[in-house]
C-alpha cells in the first residue's frame, strides 16, 4: 500500500534521502525496518535512530519524521513535544540539521541580498506574485540594515510547470537577477530567458520541507518559520532561536 494523500498532506516537514551529518545508527534491525517501511509506505528511509521515547525509533524519511516501535509493528507520525522543556518541538529539532545540509547544494543558485554588516543569514522560499512576498521584498533594506542577509530560493505557488514558474525562471536567468526580482515583485514583466538554473529542483526542495505557502523562512540554525515577519520582528525571532 502506497503512502496515502492524506498522510502526505499531514506530514508538515520533509527531509531528503541523504543526510551527510547523520549520526551512526544504533538499531540492530535497521535493514529489516527500512525495507518494511519502504514496502508498506513507499517512502525512502535515510536514518533510523533512537527517539526520546523509550520503545520507539525515530525514522527520517523523504516524507517526514515517523516514529515506529522497535518490533516494527506500530507506527505514528506527528510532532513530538517535551513538556519538561516548555513544549519544545523535538521533531522540529530533529529536522533542523538535515535542512541545513539540504540547502548547501543550492547556495550557488540563491539570489542573495547581502547585509553590509552581516550578523544573520536567512533563506526565503519566495514567489514573485504573493502579496506578503512582495511586502518582505519591499522592506529588504530594513532587513539588511539590521544585519540580516536574505537569500532567495524559488517556490512558484502555481507549481511546475506553470506560467508562474516560467516567470521565476526568467528572473533567475536574467542578466541582473536581483534587479529582475524587484521588477517582477513590482508587477513588471521580466523578459523570458533560459539558463542552467533549475527552478523545478528549488520548488521540489521547498516541497520536501513541507512548504505550502510563501514566504517561508529558514533560519541559520535550520528552524523553519512560515509567513512574513517585519524586520524588527524577524530579528527578535532569530535572536530567540540562537
127 part of the active site:
yes
Catalytic residue (one of 99, 129, 133, 173): 133
pLDDT digit string (tens) for 85-137? Answer: 999 888 878 778 888 998 999 999 999 999 999 999 999 999 999 999 999 99
pLDDT above 70 covers what percent of the chain? Answer: 88
133 part of the active site:
yes
130 part of the active site:
yes
**26 band by pLDDT with thresholds 50, 70 and 90:** low
Q: What is the mean pLDDT of residues 179-185?
A: 97
Distance CA 13, CA 208 (A): 7
Catalytic residue (one of 63, 99, 151, 157): 157
Catalytic residue (one of 127, 134, 151, 173): 127
Catalytic residue (one of 99, 130, 151, 173): 130
**23 band by pLDDT with thresholds 50, 70 and 90:** very low
Amino acid at each position: 500500500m502506497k503512502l496515502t494523500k492524506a498522510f502526505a498532506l499531514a506530514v508538515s516537514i520533509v527531509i531528503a534521502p541523504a543526510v551527510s551529518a547523520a549520526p551512526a545508527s544504533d538499531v540492530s534491525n535497521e535493514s529489516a525496518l527500512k525495507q518494511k517501511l519502504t514496502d508498506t509506505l513507499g517512502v525512502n528511509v535515510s536514518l533510523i535512530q533512537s527517539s526520546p521515547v523509550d520503545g520507539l525509533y525515530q525514522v527520517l524519511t523523504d516524507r517526514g519524521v515517523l516514529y515506529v516501535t522497535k518490533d516494527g509493528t506500530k507506527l505514528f507520525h506527528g510532532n513530538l513535544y517535551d513538556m519538561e522543556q516548555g513544549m519544545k518541538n523535538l521533531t522540529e529539532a530533529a529536522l533542523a540539521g538535515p535542512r541545513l545540509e539540504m540547502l548547501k547544494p543550492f547556495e550557488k543558485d540563491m539570489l542573495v541580498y547581502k547585509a553590509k554588516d552581516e550578523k544573520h543569514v536567512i533563506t526565503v522560499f519566495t514567489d514573485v506574485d504573493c502579496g506578503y512576498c512582495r511586502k518582505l521584498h519591499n522592506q529588504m533594506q530594513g532587513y539588511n540594515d539590521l544585519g540580516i542577509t536574505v537569500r532567495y530560493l524559488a517556490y512558484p505557488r502555481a507549481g511546475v510547470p506553470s506560467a508562474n514558474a516560467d516567470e521565476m525562471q526568467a528572473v533567475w536567468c536574467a542578466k541582473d537577477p536581483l534587479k529582475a526580482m524587484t521588477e517582477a515583485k513590482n508587477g513588471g514583466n521580466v523578459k523570458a530567458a533560459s539558463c542552467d538554473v533549475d527552478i523545478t529542483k528549488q520548488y521540489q526542495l521547498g516541497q520536501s520541507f513541507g512548504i505550502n505557502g510563501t514566504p517561508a523562512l529558514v533560519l541559520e540554525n535550520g528552524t523553519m518559520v512560515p509567513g512574513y515577519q517585519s524586520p524588527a520582528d524577524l530579528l527578535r525571532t532569530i535572536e530567540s532561536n540562537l
